[in-house]
Amino acid sequence: MEEQEHFYRSQENTEKELVLSQKWRPLNEDGTPNLCYLSNKSRIENFLKEYKREGFDLLESTILDILNDDSRISEKFETLPGLRKFWKLTPDEEKENVLEKFANVFRISLRAEELLPERIYRIVDDVISATFSQEQCAALLSWMFFYSKRNRSFIGILTSIHPISIEKIKFLLHYFDEISKEMPQGNVSFMRIKNENFMEMDFEKSKNQPISKDVSIFDDLLIEQTALCSQVDFANKHIGGGVLRLGGVQEEIRFLMCPEMIVSMLLFDRMEPDEAISIVGAQVFSSYSGYSGKLKWKILEPLDALSNNLLYRDEFGRLQTEALAINAIKFFGRQSKNLGQQLEENNIKKELIKCGVAFCAQNRGSDYGSFDKIPIVSGWWGCGAYNGNKPLKFLIQLMAASIAGRPLQFCTFGDTVMGNKCRQMKRRLEMDNFTIGQLYKLLLEIPKMEIYDEMHVFDSLEEICARTVKIGEFEIIF
């Protein structure tokens, strides 16, 4: 592709905003030879000549030499404990194959000079979006093995002996093995979504519209087992969360299944309250089992590969599945006591803005076309480690989807009891023809207490609805 969208930039962008400090360039900005890159290139070429004879020792020493050959870093590395443990746990009959997989990483890193433009700016300030070919994504990811800054490299994985780090190496190597067999020929787009006027514009315009009836609730469906939709990423404010460290929950798993999403961690700063991040076109390469510390890599299964159908590529060459990253508010303490905080208008508004900005974004005449009527697939966003209340989060996402005018497919992840409660509340809201604004107002009327039951939001709404009589356009609450 030509000078792609990565160059929505201004003259004010500085060196610190360049991706990976352009480590793959043979020349410096002033035209002088980039001696660091030239020496690292020589190390990579030497590895590719000698790895079958020298084995693991050459692999580790080559990565260490490249990591340490940067005068700007204060941290020096003597060993890579995580990589060593991974190698130790690899059966002898598979070690040759593992070396070959690492050789694939080295090979694609050498192609970065050819594949990547001279300057790639991070998506900050007036930079709006970036589009890379899948081959360019692979080149960027390969250099994350050789970059020492922990929040933008794989060094945290290579130096950790935690079992989840060993599994993450498997995810990454499988990705590079697959693309070495056949390089995908599509593109992946990354976009920063921002709307400072959501409540004043979108909410006010839509508040008198009825709550959407286009809502489906699934107990057995997983978000990643869908296609032709927007899949909600339960994100950290720093996109990718702990995927480069010890994290292993929803966001980190999605990024490991689709390593091209990790490129977003090179591009974005932390999300602001009125921001979301869109990734369109990332391919699924692996499946998984387990969760958190028990996460395990698995070969890709058909149910997880639905979005990989090449017939689903759009006019921009992207697989037509969007990962929509939104970060929830983190509430501290047990939900039975912090629900009062969650019900404060300021927090309800913040959560609605976050979801609404994301859900409405692609309907605003995006450069990549409209997502009008494309389903949003979500679930218990912010309800795990962030201690969010499930009924409240369901209703907030229901309002946001209604404002966006898009179908909502809601996954309960096997929580059939709560799923049935959501269905019951959905029917009640439809039966009484509640509008978006009325539901928002009702949430603010929920009684505040010292100790809460998880169903307090639904129970309170049912009670208020039972005491509400509508006469024309007026409501009377007894």
Instruction: Look up 196 and say whether it is catalytic.
Output: no
> 213 to each of 176, 209, 396, how far by Cα in Å?
43, 11, 15
Among 167, 233, 304, 322, which one carries the catalytic annotation?
A: 233
Instruction: Look up 233 and say whether it is catalytic.
Output: yes
In sign, the C-alpha dihedral spanning 73, 78, 81, 82 is positive
CB 51 within 8 A of CB 154: no
Residue 18 pairs in a beta bridge with 121
Among 202, 252, 260, 304, which one carries the catalytic annotation?
A: 252
CB 435 within 8 A of CB 391: no
What CA–CA distance (Å, rounded) separates 290 from 474? 51
Phi then psi for residue 310, to 5 deg, are -65, -20
Instruction: Look up 219 and say whether it is catalytic.
Output: no
Among 251, 275, 304, 322, which one carries the catalytic annotation?
A: 251
Q: Is beta strand 408-411 parallel, antiparallel or unpaired with respect to 376-378?
A: parallel
Burial label for 181, CB within 10 Å (0-12, 13-18, 19+), is: exposed
Helix or strand (DSSP H, E) at 471: strand 468-471
**Residue spans of alpha helices (H) in 321-373:** 335-342, 345-361
Say whether 236 counts as a known binding-site residue: yes
Point out the residues that are catalytic. 233, 251-252
Binding residues for substrate: 236, 250, 291
Binding residues: 236, 250, 291
